[in-house]
Amino acid sequence: MSGQLMPCSPKEIGSLFLFEKLTPEQLGRLCSEGRVELFQPGPVYAEGDQATCFFVMIEGTVVLSRQVGGTDVEVTRSSQRGAYAGAMQAYLGDRVRQVYNNSMRVTEPTRFFVLPADTFAAVISEWFPMAVHLLEGLFFGSKNTQAMIGQRERLLALGSLSAGLTHELNNPAAAAVRATSTLRERVAKMRHKLAVIAEGPFSRDALAGLIEIQERTAERVAKAPALSPLEASDREDMLTEWLEDHGLDYGWQLAPTFVQAGLDIDWLEQVAAAVDEEILPGAIGWLNYTIETELLMNEIEDSTTRISHLVDAAKQYSQLDRAPYRVVDVHELLDSTLLMLSGKIGPHIQVVKDYDRTLPQVPGYPAELNQVWTNLIDNAVCAINSAGGDGTLTVRTALDHERMLVEFRDTGPGVPPEIRSRIFDPFFTTKPVGQGTGLGLDISWRIVVNKHHGTLQVESVPGDTRFQVLLPLTAETPDDEVSALTTPEEAA
């Protein structure tokens, strides 16, 4: 927005504290290369626009605001003569993106001394070379520190994920080892039992019938129904009684295995009818080993499948062998992140997935989106734990005005209103010393806003805090020049 041009007086410019030490020649140069403009109430420039001018207020009232989570938050209001804003980093040149890092508006007719960014950079470098070197060191030193601490934040998250993944892998791996050891014993006993049966006075037809029953029993195990504890107990009692009635005094040991395999009295009656009475106990014992081996192989399959799923989730989370920018299924990313963090979430926090599976895939950087989910879930878990450790984490997806909404809702104590506008600032944290760097939400903001052209916002009351990520559904050309580590001040 342009204002009304007005005469520039070196004397008036020199009365501003920013220029009070300049020589008459320097003030004359400022007036000749700059200008005075009168702005009516309204916007002067917008956050993210190309930073073309440096503004110094002569008289009036100025308001500076920032976009935080999709909301315009006022950060400064001043009527002090000499208040300045605009292209304050012009002296850094092309080493940073020259955009306005806030929005400025005036609430009454306001006069500014306006200096083009190129001129501002030239006079600063020419008149204050030592100050420029100091400012450059401060700016880039702070940026490097932020990048290093950001790397530390990611390493801490990786350590937590590795510990959780190791714990999750240990359980099914141990179960598979135990089942394999037991299976070896059962197979050895089955071979022994088969040798005893083969040495007995049994006909070939009887043995063939027994093997056929074995095959049908194995098929039955695969289709075993799920029973309630009460149903299972009642069926065990009935099977124990049947087995004891047919000469198997150890029937109470076999009944639980038979019930787990889905066998009932009708099935045992079919077995009794198919073999001679004298070989029934041996046949039942042999079938018991068959059932146990099938159940153990099922347990091994379940355990190794669980391990495979965990490995797939780890690959999905880390996006190994995947293109850095592609169309992704957000629900797959969310599931892999929740699985990777399951150890940290713990059993006391209920996780509710409220997904809209009809939503299309979205273009993005999946590994970095997983980092956003990690940071937001970690914050939610910490909030719930601070309120006693019991609560609910709800992850919801929905369509929101041609954008995908990914919402993380927790039942923690909430974000106090007085700090809500600061939670996305670098290094701001409410966690105890040593437990947070204050960069989790800052990194998330930059990934969502800068790299995905989306929005990250928060709504919070005690017991209901919602961090909402809004991602565009349509692809934009990847902005490779905008790093995920670009600060909000540098973001377009």
Task: Write down the pLDDT at residue 315.
Answer: 62
pLDDT tens digits, residue range 51-100? 888 898 898 988 888 765 455 667 778 888 888 888 777 666 666 677 88
Burial of 135 (0-12, 13-18, 19+ CB in 10 A): middle
Do both 343 and 463 map to the same domain? yes
Task: Write down the pLDDT at residue 229.
Answer: 82
pLDDT tens digits, residue range 398-417? 999 889 999 999 998 888 88
Q: Structural domain of residue 45, as residue ranges?
A: 4-138
Task: Write down the pLDDT at residue 17.
Answer: 83
Token code pair at residue 6: 């007005």
Alpha-carbon gap, residue 132 to 372, rounded angstroms: 36
Using CA atoms, how far residue 80 sits from 7, 37, 58, 60, 128, in Å, is 21, 17, 8, 8, 24
Confidence of residue 232 (pLDDT cuts 50, 70, 90): confident
pLDDT tens digits, residue range 260-279? 888 888 888 878 877 777 77
Q: Is residue 466 part of a domain?
A: yes
Alpha-carbon gap, residue 42 to 158, rounded angstroms: 47
Token code pair at residue 338: 């929740």
Biggest CA–CA distance in the chain, Å, is: 124
Task: Write down the pLDDT at residue 439.
Answer: 52
Q: Is residue 402 part of a domain?
A: yes
pLDDT tens digits, residue range 308-323? 766 766 666 655 445 5
What's the alpha-carbon Rg for the chain, to the nearest Å? 36
Alpha-carbon gap, residue 354 to 363, rounded angstroms: 21
Q: What is the CATH classification number for the domain harbouring 452?
A: 3.30.565.10
Q: Is residue 367 part of a domain?
A: yes
Q: Is residue 188 part of a domain?
A: no
pLDDT tens digits, residue range 187-208? 777 777 667 666 666 667 766 7
Arithmetic mean of pLDDT, 465-489: 61
Alpha-carbon gap, residue 212 to 274, rounded angstroms: 10
Query: Which single residue is written with the structure tokens 């042999």?
Result: 286
Q: Is residue 187 part of a domain?
A: no
Do both 71 and 128 map to the same domain? yes
Do both 455 and 344 map to the same domain? yes
3-state secondary structure 73-131: EEEEEECCCCCEEECCCHHHHHHCCCECCCEEEECCCEEEEEEEHHHHHHHHHHHCHHH
Do both 128 and 237 map to the same domain? no
Q: Is residue 212 part of a domain?
A: yes
Residues 6 or more apart whose CB falls under 8 angstroms from that of 389 comprise: 346, 348, 349
Task: Write down the pLDDT at residue 273.
Answer: 79
Do both 330 and 280 map to the same domain? no
Contact criterion met (CB below 8 Å) for 392 and 411 = yes
- Mark which of 114, 138, 162 sits at the end of a domain: 138
Using CA atoms, how far residue 104 sits from 39, 115, 177, 481, in Å, is 11, 16, 66, 26
Alpha-carbon gap, residue 146 to 486, rounded angstroms: 10
pLDDT tens digits, residue range 95-121? 667 788 778 888 899 999 888 888 887
State the chain's mean pLDDT as an integer. 77
Alpha-carbon gap, residue 245 to 178, rounded angstroms: 34
Alpha-carbon gap, residue 368 to 365, rounded angstroms: 6
Do both 210 and 280 map to the same domain? yes
Using CA atoms, how far residue 97 sits from 49, 92, 383, 478, 489, in Å, is 10, 9, 36, 17, 9
Phi-psi region of 463 (alpha: psi -120 to 50; beta: other; left: phi over 0): left
Contact criterion met (CB below 8 Å) for 68 and 424 = yes
The three-class DSSP label of residue 283 is helix
Alpha-carbon gap, residue 269 to 333, rounded angstroms: 52
Pick the closest to residue 265 from 291, 235, 228 (CA basis): 235
pLDDT tens digits, residue range 316-346? 665 544 557 889 899 988 988 888 787 778 7
Contact criterion met (CB below 8 Å) for 83 and 55 = no
**Predicted TM-score (pTM) of this structure:** 0.47
Do both 109 and 244 map to the same domain? no
**Res 482 pLDDT > 60:** no
Pick the closest to residue 286 from 368, 224, 196 (CA basis): 196
Alpha-carbon gap, residue 100 to 64, rounded angstroms: 11
What total number of domains does the chain contain? 3
Do both 259 and 213 map to the same domain? yes
Task: Write down the pLDDT at residue 361.
Answer: 92
Burial of 394 (0-12, 13-18, 19+ CB in 10 A): middle
**C-alpha 238: how far from chain center:** 51
- Mark which of 272, 304, 336 sits at the end of a domain: 304
Q: Is residue 24 part of a domain?
A: yes
Q: Is residue 61 part of a domain?
A: yes
Query: Which single residue is written with the structure tokens 């146990």?
Result: 292
- Mark which of 106, 123, 138 sits at the end of a domain: 138
Do both 271 and 403 map to the same domain? no
Arithmetic mean of pLDDT, 450-462: 87
**Res 370 pLDDT > 80:** yes
Arithmetic mean of pLDDT, 4-22: 85
